[in-house]
Amino acid sequence: MREIWISELVVVFFLFISLVRPFFKGLWRLEGLTWLPFLAFALTVALFPAYGFRPECIPLLIFGFLLNLVNIPAMMSSVFSRPNDDFRDRSLVFTVPALALLAASAIIAFIYAPLVPTGLSAAAVKTVKLHNEAQNTGYSLRIYEPVPVENLPPVGSDLRPLLLVIPPDSGQISAVDRICAGLRDRGFTVISYSRKGAFSAYRSWRVFRAAHKTNKANEWGRVLETARREDLEYLLPQIRQNRDNSGAPLVSGGSALVTGTDSLIIAGYGAGGSAAVYLADSPDFAGRYGYVKGVIAVESGFYSSYRPGERKKTPLPESAKWFTRFMAAAAGWFGSFVPLKVDGINRLPSPAVPVLYLNASEGAGPLDFTDYPATHPVYHVLFPSREKLRQNKNRLSGTERIADTVDRFTIMVTDTLSE
């Protein structure tokens, strides 16, 4: 049984007893049952700090809140030691729909419970804070270093480049924690980060859904890509120097690139992957970031390459009558409320390093290459692919598949450079 199911079962049991109490006379005299909805609601609230944000528990949370509103008079009477039997007046008209809603909320919570333990892994991981004074932006870096085995050298330490993993636009480090830990276990030194004032989930979702279609969403996509490029331009030199703001080393071993290959590969999700490719396309890239040997772009849209659409105006002849001019002006005014669509693609980037473009399979959403299919299964339903959502038995879980793909790509790049 998944651990969270125990707490959810207790919540559902408390709410169920409260709802069916009017129909069992043996429960009428148990005044303490009045507080079961409150205890259930408090326990549901406690699930969030204990297990992180659990979207599948929100229906259960809302149901408990509404039932507590109905139960306020009874709780107030209990506080002042006055008997209250209002619950006995509840008929099937109230109870049956309430039980149906409770069942639906419970099913959602149980079905979409996490498949694996949630939370960031603690083994061989350290957190470092950085602050970009120029941009007044704070960063939290998570550094995953291979654990040396007694009497044996670290696995792959002389072969693997250092990996910088950029999380999804709306996600924090927790979105890729298990992937980073899996890569660490394969011998990589991995750095991931979150930034102060991360992008909102709504804006990131709108970018994924419509930035290749409408000007407005495309503008948001460009902003995300610009922000991620600013992140890279700040973080790459810091990693190269292997120093935090206080001068302490980021990675043990005396150098940021301690793998023996003096190389780094960027793996970026969404706007992060686009930003890395655009950076590798810049004229001065080799001079500034020659140690970056490859890029992995995961579900990246390259929205900065889209050409914004413009409103087309049909010129009127000077001889046009006032009514024709009026109708044209009215049509233009109403047309200004119609979202503009992007007008094709301009030049695509030509990066100076090998790039792996990694896209999800049909029916997979923008978060299916992350930890979320295992830690937050409901996200596959809430954030489906652009195509019609289908039941795909081979839907990627993200963690093992992307770790294997990154492993293969980095070995290929390293072997190519060593020849």
Strand (E) or helix (H) holding 86: none
* CA 39 centroid distance within chain: 31
Q: CA-to-CA distance for 237 and 253, rounded, in angstroms?
A: 17
* pLDDT at residue number 157: 45
Q: Which amino acid is at 412?
A: M
pTM for this prediction: 0.77
Neighbours of 198 (CB within 10 A): 15
Q: CA-to-CA distance for 87 and 15, rounded, in angstroms?
A: 13
Q: CA-to-CA distance for 382 and 192, rounded, in angstroms?
A: 25
Task: Name the 3-class secondary structure at 241.
Answer: helix
Please report the DSSP string for 282-301 in residue order: STTHHHHHTTEEEEEEES--
* pLDDT at residue number 75: 84
The single residue listed with the structure tokens 């394969």 is 186
* CA 161 centroid distance within chain: 26
* pLDDT at residue number 258: 47
Strand (E) or helix (H) holding 412: helix 399-418
* pLDDT at residue number 110: 92
Pairing status of strand 292-298 against strand 264-269: parallel
Q: CA-to-CA distance for 304 and 293, rounded, in angstroms?
A: 23
First vs last C-alpha separation in the chain: 51
Task: Read off the tokens for 101.
Answer: 């809603």
Q: Residue 68, exposed/middle/buried by CB under 10 A (0-12, 13-18, 19+)?
A: middle
pLDDT in tens, the chain (419 residues): 478 899 999 999 999 999 988 888 888 778 778 889 999 999 999 999 888 889 999 999 999 999 999 888 888 887 777 776 777 778 888 889 999 999 999 999 999 988 777 766 666 788 889 998 888 889 999 999 887 655 444 444 455 788 999 998 876 788 888 888 888 888 888 999 998 776 777 788 788 888 888 888 899 999 999 999 999 999 999 888 887 777 788 887 644 454 445 789 999 999 999 999 999 999 999 889 989 999 999 889 899 999 887 766 667 666 666 666 666 666 665 566 567 788 888 888 999 999 998 876 655 666 777 888 788 888 877 776 655 544 444 444 556 666 777 777 776 776 665 55
The number of residues in the chain equals 419
**Distance set, CA 101 to CA 49, 64, 91, 111, 380 (Å):** 25, 11, 16, 15, 23
* pLDDT at residue number 414: 63
Pairing status of strand 292-298 against strand 355-358: parallel
